[in-house]
């Protein structure tokens, strides 16, 4: 991996400059100028093939998505290409400047080009498919800790919002333009999502299935009904938005079946939480080699939040019924890990309810995982959590006290807020992915923070792909797509509110 020297004096002066405030509040024209300067730079200098990866070095020669990217690649997985496209739609709607619409349409062409024949998307789009097999053989198969990237299945993924992000971007662009090209792509994607739904109402991590054992059981975790990384919930929310936009009742019905899977899959008392994945017999199933097929505290908290949303949306109190049992299990499981300020670990053994951890053994490509009750030396995958069960219970009691009409009003407000202020995954420590500015002074700093080319320079951080546990991350100054998107949202929301 290429090492990067300390930033030049020019970069250091730039970093000092961005924290030097001005007493003058920014005007609308100044904000508009800064937004277009940043967007012109990203679209015309940083972007390749009308798309983006996640991180770039200052000279743009180093490119990373979740893993190292080839020059012919753009990333679909957020905060990648569709994430930029969604933001540009908002910029167009708020400013009225058709340049943002044209940039969004350029991105749409790339997203459509990367749509697979099944209707979904892979983590990335590679415009040079000839070298893709070598990329997997020589690089992805050798990295450690990114098991989902080590094998190319040839199908689409719902993991990390990949297919959902691409579909939602095109859906919103169609709703704003009524361009039939986008409608056709959206219908193809939504048909794929409907076809991929499992008989029990859940969705697998990847589809269509590419390898099924002779006994009918899946041969890998990608075919399990998957809560992990919000696979099921993301599909549900996309389908609800699609129903409201396209008025096709199939999307609403599929979403409701997905919601019902949350009720169906809750583990019986006394461990009434949820697992990350379920096999066809509706049993907790392992995922990646470091993911245990058991009840999961992290997934349980997330599913409680989603069930509250489903009551808000539907007014159906069935979605509230699993929550008290789940809260009781979380409360009874607290305090078993030997750390202050942390209440839970990720996994609890079925039956004993003991915290269980994964430990790494072996070296390099011979590494393997062993399950243990021992906390010390555990693989750092969610092994320490702080869950505020009191706050979660208070939220449940508040939502449960609402009438269906009150609950739906709250849902609509939250949905509108999420569109204006979307949550962007924090990919690197130290990077600020807020989508609203604290005040006009922060807006002033954002404007002043653009470099001469129109970019926001940040310190990127890349985990060591061979041994991120023992080796320090690689840090280098450059540009970050998530930073561009979220800082643009701050400026957009400033304009919207002023």
Cα angle vertex 381, ends 377, 385, to 5°?
A: 95
Residue 168 pLDDT exceeds 70: yes
Query: pLDDT above 90 covers what percent of the chain?
Result: 84
Question: What's the mean pLDDT in 283-297?
Answer: 96
What is the per-residue pLDDT for 367? Answer: 85
State the Cα–Cα distance between residues 75 and 66, nearest whole angstrom. 8
State the pLDDT at residue 428. Answer: 62
pLDDT of residue 81: 98
Do 121 and 114 form a contact (C-beta atoms < 8 A)? Answer: yes
Torsion (CA) 50, 51, 57, 59 in degrees, nearest 10:
-10
- Tell me the mean pLDDT in the region 237-258: 98
Residue written as tokens 């009874």? 332
pLDDT of 46-97, one tens digit each? 999 999 999 999 999 999 999 999 999 999 999 999 999 999 999 999 999 9
pLDDT of 215 higher than 70: no
Q: Are 458 and 426 in contact (CB under 8 A)?
A: no
pTM: 0.93
What's the CA gap between 487 and 125, in Å, rounded? Answer: 25
Residue 296, strand partner residues: 274, 347
> Looking at residue 386, what DSSP letter applies?
-
Please provide the DSSP assignment of 402-453 as one string.
S-HHHHHHHHHHHHHHHHHSPPPP--STT----SS-SSHHHHHHHHHT--TT
Residues in contact with 62: Cβ distance below 8 Å, sequence separation at least 6, in sequence order: 2, 4, 55, 56, 476, 478
Q: Find residue 461's DSSP bridge partners.
A: 475
Task: Summarize pLDDT for 395-441 with one digit per residue, the tens.
Answer: 999 999 999 999 999 999 999 999 999 998 766 667 899 999 999 99
The lowest-confidence range among 10-19, 34-43, 54-63, 268-277 is 10-19
Q: Which residues pair with 73 in a beta bridge?
A: 126
């Amino acid at each position: 991996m290429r090492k990067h020297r300390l930033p030049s004096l020019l970069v250091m002066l730039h970093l000092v400059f961005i924290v030097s405030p001005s007493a003058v509040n920014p005007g609308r024209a100044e904000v508009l100028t800064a937004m277009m300067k940043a967007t012109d730079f990203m679209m015309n200098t940083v972007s390749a093939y009308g798309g983006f990866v996640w991180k770039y070095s200052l000279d743009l020669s180093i490119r990373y998505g979740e893993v190292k990217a080839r020059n012919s690649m753009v990333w679909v997985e957020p905060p990648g290409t569709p994430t930029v496209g969604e933001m540009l739609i908002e910029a167009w709607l708020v400013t009225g400047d058709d340049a943002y619409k044209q940039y969004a349409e350029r991105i749409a062409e790339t997203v459509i080009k990367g749509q697979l024949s099944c209707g979904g998307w892979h983590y990335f789009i590679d415009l040079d498919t000839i070298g893709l097999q070598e990329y997997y053989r020589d690089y992805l198969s050798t990295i450690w800790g990114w098991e989902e990237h080590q094998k190319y299945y040839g199908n689409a993924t719902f993991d990390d919002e990949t297919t959902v992000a691409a579909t939602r971007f095109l859906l919103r662009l169609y709703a704003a333009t009524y361009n039939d090209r986008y409608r056709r792509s959206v219908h193809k994607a939504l048909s794929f999502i409907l076809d991929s739904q499992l008989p029990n109402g859940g969705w697998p991590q990847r589809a269509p299935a590419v390898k099924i054992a002779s006994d009918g059981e899946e041969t890998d975790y990608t075919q399990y009904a998957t809560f992990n990384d919000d696979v099921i919930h993301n599909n549900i929310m996309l389908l609800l938005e699609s129903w409201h936009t396209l008025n096709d009742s199939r999307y609403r019905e599929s979403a409701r079946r997905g919601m019902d899977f949350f009720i169906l899959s809750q583990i019986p008392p006394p461990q009434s939480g949820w697992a990350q994945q379920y096999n066809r017999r509706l049993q907790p199933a392992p995922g990646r080699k470091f993911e245990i097929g058991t009840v999961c505290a992290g997934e349980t908290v997330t599913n409680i939040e989603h069930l509250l949303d489903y009551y808000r949306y539907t007014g159906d109190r069935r979605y509230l019924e699993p929550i008290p049992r789940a809260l009781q299990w979380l409360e009874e499981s607290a305090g078993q890990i030997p750390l202050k300020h942390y209440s839970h670990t990720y996994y609890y053994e079925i039956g004993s309810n003991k915290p269980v951890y994964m430990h790494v053994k072996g070296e390099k490509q011979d590494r393997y995982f062993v399950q243990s009750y021992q906390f010390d030396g555990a693989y750092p995958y969610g092994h320490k959590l702080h869950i505020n069960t009191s706050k979660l219970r208070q939220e449940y009691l508040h939502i449960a006290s609402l009438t269906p009409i009150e609950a739906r009003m709250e849902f609509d407000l939250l949905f509108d807020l999420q569109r204006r202020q979307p949550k962007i995954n924090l990919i690197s420590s130290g990077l600020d992915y807020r989508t609203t500015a604290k005040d006009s002074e922060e807006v002033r700093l954002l404007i002043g923070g653009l470099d001469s080319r129109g970019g926001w320079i940040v310190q990127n951080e890349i985990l060591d792909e061979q041994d991120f546990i023992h080796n320090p991350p690689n840090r280098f100054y450059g540009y970050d797509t998530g930073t561009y998107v979220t800082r643009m949202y701050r400026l957009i929301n400033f304009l919207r509110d002023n």
